[in-house]
């Protein structure tokens, strides 16, 4: 599928569910405003933040950022 900022943001927002931006941001080591920008597609996280988000949500980087399930 390839990278798509809008899909990335939508996926991050869906994965967050009922958690607050603050909770997720604190858990992965970014500011709340950075987390907001990732979810809105305004900003792409650095690779280490991508890994932290994938670990936090228990999903693959490929799933979150490229819409691909890992096999």
**Spatial distance between the Cα atoms of 71 and 10, rounded to a whole number of angstroms:** 22
Local confidence band at 1 (pLDDT 50, 70, 90 cut-offs):
low
Q: Please tell me the chain's helix, strand, coil percentages from 3-state DSSP, rounded to the nearest 5.
A: 65, 0, 35
Do 4 and 63 form a contact (C-beta atoms < 8 A)?
no
Mean pLDDT of the 15-19 span: 97
Residue 12 has a pLDDT of 97
Average pLDDT taken over every residue of the chain:
92
Q: What is the pTM of this model?
A: 0.90
The pLDDT tens digits for 25-52 are 999 999 999 999 999 999 999 999 999 9
**Spatial distance between the Cα atoms of 40 and 53, rounded to a whole number of angstroms:** 15
CATH class of 5-62: mainly alpha
Residue 9 has a pLDDT of 95
């Amino acid at each position: 599928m390839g990278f798509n900022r809008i899909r990335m943001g939508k996926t991050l927002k869906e994965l967050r569910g009922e958690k607050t931006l603050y909770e997720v941001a604190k858990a992965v080591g970014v500011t709340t405003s950075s987390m907001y920008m990732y979810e809105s597609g305004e900003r792409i996280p650095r690779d280490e933040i991508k890994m932290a988000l994938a670990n936090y949500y228990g999903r693959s980087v490929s799933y979150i950022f490229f819409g691909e399930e890992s096999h």
